Structures are given as structure tokens and as C-alpha cells.
Amino acid sequence: MAQGDYDRMIALPPQPDLDLTSLVRTIPDFPKLGIQFRDVTTLIGDAAGFSESVRRLSALASVHRPHFIVAVEARGFLFGAAMATAMGLGLVPVRKAGKLPGVTIGVDYELEYGTDRLELHEGAVLPGHRVVLVDDLLATGGTILAAATLMRSVGAEVAAALFVIDLPDLGGSQRLAAAGLRCETLIAFDGD
């Protein structure tokens, strides 16, 4: 590949009119009958779509002047890492239990069928740090609320939670608002 090809890839121009919704594939009856799975991997696989998504998320995040982008496992890492790079910020990963080496702190949270745990490295976020949480999709809001609880437990200010996709019929955005967490998304799909 010639140097000019790399330069072109690095500096994709803004595409404010790009319809991101059209780049998200819908897979019917996955993972179970009646579910319309919104597959963000097709958007990530489209260079212009991924670049524009990161640009739009970064613009939303920048108004909050965060110290860090906090990305939630797993697809949140993809968008969060790209945003952190674009904004010149560090990235703090929030992972499922047992995935991070070293000393961690965590929070348990309720799932539809049980409980789970999110963790981050001790000292990764300190009191007074302002953070923006990032994940690919907002459904019921349980995971992002757990991440916000974890950030607040170390004294961080959670300025906002950003998502590529919202499934408003599942109530996540209302649940976040009720918990005092500002939520912004790029795309919304009716139905589940």
C-alpha cells in the first residue's frame, strides 16, 4: 500500500449526512425467537460509517470536557478507544469480573436472569475526574448503570453515557434519566 493510501485512510472527511442507521444490520430471531438483533459490526466494518460514528460520539463527549473516556466491555471498547484517540484522552476499560490483571475494584449488578460484576483497575479513575461512559448499545441500561455506580464509588463525576444505538422500547434511556445519568445516542430503533 502506498503512503497516500494510508493518509487517505487516516483522514476520512466528515460525512454529516451519512445515514448510520442503514449501516446497522438487523438479524431476526437472534439470540432467540422474536428478538430483532441490531448488529453494529456492519457499521464498524464500514470505514466511513465507523469514522463518522466516532466523530459524532466525540463531538457529544467533548462538550462535557472529560478527563477520560470509560468504555464498557466489549463493543464499547471499539468506539471508546477510537474516541479517546481522536480526543487526545486516555481510555479506562470497565470489564467483566476476572478479566483485568492486578488490583481491581468492582460492583455487582442485576441481570434479567441473575447477577454479574464489572471491575476497573484500582486508581485508574480518581476522585474529581470527569468521565464519559461509552457503549455500543443501550437496551435496559443495567450495565451502564453499574458502570456509573462504579465510577461514582471512586468519586468520579459521570458527565454522560453515550451510545451508538438505543432501543427505546426496552426502557434504558428512561432508567438512566431516573438515575440522574445523562444519555445521548446516535441511532434509535423501535422494537426490541
Q: Is 61 exposed, middle or buried (0-12, 13-18, 19+ CB in 10 A)?
A: buried
75 annotated active-site = yes
Helices (H), 64-182: 75-87, 142-153, 172-178
Q: 3-class SS at 127?
A: coil
Among 56, 75, 95, 184, which one carries the catalytic annotation?
75
Rounded Cα distance between 88 and 116, Å, is: 32
184 annotated active-site = no
The vertex-66 CA angle with 62 and 68, nearest 5°, equals 120
Grid coordinates belonging to 5: 493510501
Q: Which residues are catalytic?
A: 75, 112
